Chains A and B, each alone.
Chain A
Amino acid sequence: MNVLEVKEIHKSFGSKKVLDGVSFSVPENCVFGFIGRNGAGKTTTMRAVLGLLETDGGEIDVCGQRVSYGNTPTNGCIGYLPDVPEFYGYMNAREYLALCGRITGMDRGDVKKRSSELLELVGLDKESHRIKGYSRGMKQRLGIAQALINRPKLLILDEPTSALDPVGRKEILDIISAAKEQTSVIFSTHILSDVERICSRVAFLEGGKTAFEGGIDEIRAMKGDTALELSLAMSSDTDKLKAAFPAAELREGKLIFPKASDSDCSELMAFLAAQNIPITRLERHESDLEDIFMEVIGK
C-alpha cells in the first residue's frame, strides 16, 4: 500500500499558478527525494499534504485516508520538519519533545525514553539551554527529533540538511536512511548527491507538474549511456584506435566513447592490451542526477 498518494493537485496564489496537476505516490519503507528549483512548489505541495493549505483541486491520501484542510486527523501518522522550523524559545529541547510527545498521545514514561533516545541521535543530548539561544542548525536537529517522536508512518522533511555543517549533514542523512526501516520518508533538497546517496525514488517538480517520477535505478537505466574517456600516453596511437572504433570522438586530447556498454568497455580494454597501447587514464563517466535534472527542466 502507498503511504502517500498525491493525485493531480492544483494550487494558485492569486493569478499565479504554482501547482498545476502534481501527482506522485510514496510506497512503504521508501526514501523519496523531491527535487525542483527554488519556487517550484515543493514546500507548497508538502503543506497541502499536511492540510495546512487549501488546494484548488486534486486528492491527497495519507495512509489510505483523505486529507482535508484545517481539521486534519491524518496528521497523526505524519512527522513534519518545516523548512524554517520555529519553536517556543522559553523551553528546552527536552521539554519541547515532551510537549510534542504528549500531544500525540504518548504516555509520560514513553515520551521520556523516546526524547532521550532522539536527542542523542541528533546530537542535542548535552544541550540544557533554552531553545531561544539555538543556532539554525541546532533548530534543524531539534526539528528532526520532534518529527520522529511518535514513530510516524510518513516523515516529511523540507530541506532537512540546509542549515547543517558537513558532518551534521552526513549524520542526518544516516538518520534518514535508518528511519526507512520503520517509515517512509519524503524530503526535498537541492543537494543532488544527497538524493543519489539515500533515495530509492525521486520526483522532479517543474512548471507545476511532476516532470518525472520513478525509482532511482529507473533513472540510471534511462541514462544507461555511460561514456568512456580514454587518455593515451602517445597521441600517435589515436588514429589506430579511431580506425578500430569509429564511434570514438577526439575531444580536448581525450578519446570519448559515447554510449559504451559493459561489453564495449571490455572490448576496448582487450584491444588496448592486444595492441600493447600504453594509456594514462581510462574512466567510465556515468551521467549523474544533475545531468538528468538539467534535461528534465529543459536546460
Chain B
Amino acid sequence: MKGFVAFFEKEVRELVRTKRLMILLAVFVIVGIMNPAVAKLTPKLFELMADELSEQGIVLGEVKVTALDSWTQFVKNMPMALIVMLIMFGGIYTSEYTKGTLIPLLTKGLSRGSVVLSKLAAMLLTWSAGLWLCYGITYFYSDWYWDNSAVNRLGFACFCWWLFGVLMICCIVFFSSFAGSGAQVLLGCGAVYFAMTMAGLYSRAKEYLPTRLCDSAPLYKGELVPSDYTAAAVITAAISAVLVLAALPLTHRRQV
C-alpha cells in the first residue's frame, strides 16, 4: 500500500511536470467550449452561405438551434478528446519498461501490482476530471444560451461516456502487460474498438456492446431510457475489471 501511494504521487507529479495533464485538460476545456460555440455559430454560417446556396437553387428555411444541437456536438467531439488522451497514455507503461526507470524501484520492493494499479488510478483520475470538466462547461453554456431542460438524461449520458473511457483505459493496462511499445498498445486498443464496431453491425448484439454507451442521442431525445443501457454498462464494467485482473499476473511474468 505504501508503494502504491508513493508511486501514485510520482505518477501525478509526472503528469504535471511533463505538462501532459495541462495539455489534456486544455483539450477537454476547448472541446467543452467548442460544443455550444459550434451550435451557436451554425445558423450564422448558413446565413453567410445563404446567397451562394440560393444561387445553386437550395433554399434554407430558418435554422432553429436548441440545446440539443450543443449536446449533439458533445457526442461528436468527445471521441476526439478520448483519442487524444489514449495517445498520450499509450506509452505510460511501456516507456518505463523499455527505459528501465522502474528497475531501481522494483528492486526496492515495489510490487508490480502497485505499478499497474497506480498508473491506472492516475489515468482514471485524469479522464474523470477531463470528462466532467468538459461536461460542466458545455452544460453551463448550453443552459446560458438555450435551455438544458429540453434535453433528457444529460448526466447519465455523460456517465456512459465515462464508463466507455474507463474500458479503453483498461485496454491500455491490458495490452501494456505484454506489448513492447506504446504504438503496439494503441494498435491493440484500436483493434478492440474495431471489433466492437464490427460486432455492432449485427443489430441484435448492439444492445450489449460497450459502443452502445457512446450512442447518447436517443437518450437526449427521450427515445431510450437509462435501463436500456444497463446491459451494455454492466458488460463494459465487467470487461474492464477482467482486463485489469488479467494484466496483473501478466505483468508479473513480464520481462522488464
Contact = CB atoms under 8 A, between A and B. Distances in A.
A290 interface: no
Contact of B111 (A50, A69, A71, A147): A71
Contact of A88 (B3, B10, B255): B10
A87 B101 contact: yes
A52 B111 CA distance: 12
B57 interface: no
Nearest to A150: B108
Interface in A113-128: none
Interface of A: 50, 52-54, 69-73, 75-76, 78-80, 82, 84-88, 90-91, 95, 99-100, 102-105, 143, 146-147, 149-150
Cβ-closest 10 pairs across A and B? A76-B109, A102-B6, A70-B252, A90-B17, A80-B107, A86-B100, A75-B109, A103-B110, A86-B101, A105-B2
Nearest to B254: A70
B108 A100 contact: yes
Interface string B229-256: 0000000000000000000000011111
Interface in B97-115: 99-101, 103-112
Given A71-B252, A99-B6, A102-B6, A88 B107 contact: no
Contacts of A86: 99-101, 103-104
B14 A88 contact: yes
User: Which of A72, A78, A85, A147 lies at the interface centre, i.e. has the most chain B CB atoms within 10 A of its CB?
Assistant: A72
A85 B104 contact: yes
A75 B105 CA distance: 10
Interface in B107-125: 107-112
Contacts of B54: none
B44 interface: no
Nearest to B5: A102
Given A70-B253, A102-B2, A102-B6, A75 B106 contact: yes
Interface of B: 2-3, 5-7, 9-10, 13-14, 17-18, 99-101, 103-112, 252-256
B222 to A, nearest CB: 49
B99 A75 contact: no
A129 to B, nearest CB: 13
A87 B108 contact: no
Contact of B108 (A54, A69, A76, A84): A76
9 contacts: A80-B104, A86-B100, A99-B105, A100-B104, A100-B105, A103-B109, A104-B108, A104-B109, A149-B108
Given A75-B106, A103-B109, A91 B13 contact: yes
A1 B2 CA distance: 30
Given A70-B253, A90-B13, 6 more contacts: A79-B107, A79-B108, A80-B103, A88-B101, A95-B13, A147-B104
Contacts of A143: 104
A78 B105 CA distance: 11
B50 to A, nearest CB: 53
A87 B107 CA distance: 13
